Amino acid sequence: GAGVSQTPSNKVTEKGKYVELRCDPISGHTALYWYRQSLGQGPEFLIYFQGTGAADDSGLPNDRFFAVRPEGSVSTLKIQRTERGDSAVYLCASSLLHRGYEQFFGPGTRLTVL
């Protein structure tokens, strides 16, 4: 596609439920990133993929968060046993290659945990 796409745009769930957020990067981009943005703050890094493997997952807050990119394109961020503190906008970005290349962001998924 022309840009990074994310689905759903909004997700409302109940505390304790499982959610999946999807990111479709720009065609041909090998690097994919997930960030999280809380109200009034800048985005914060969660995880980065180079190809199919997670090259750096040091930003994931705990083991309830997991992400995959099985074919090196689309990625899914998975959150188990959601908590109210997980409420935020989850942003996905992609770049042609890693290390110093310009990143392009999707519109984000706004997650609300009730």
Q: Which residues of this chain interact with other proteins, rule CB under 8 A?
A: 33, 35, 37, 41-45, 48, 55-56, 58-59, 89, 91, 93, 98-105, 107-108, 110
**Closest approach of Cβ 51 to other proteins, in Å?**
13
20 or 56: CB nearest other proteins: 56
81 or 97: CB nearest other proteins: 97
CA 65 from centre of chain? 10
Cis before 61? omega within 30? no
**Closest approach of Cβ 89 to other proteins, in Å?**
6
**Closest approach of Cβ 102 to other proteins, in Å?**
4
Expressed in angstroms, the distance from the first to the final Cα of the chain is: 33
52 or 80: CB nearest other proteins: 52
14 or 39: CB nearest other proteins: 39
Detail the DSSP E strand segments found in the chain.
5-7, 10-13, 19-24, 31-37, 44-50, 53-56, 65-68, 75-79, 88-95, 104-105, 109-113
> What CA dihedral angle connects 92, 49, 44 and 64, to 10 degrees?
100
**Closest approach of Cβ 63 to other proteins, in Å?**
20
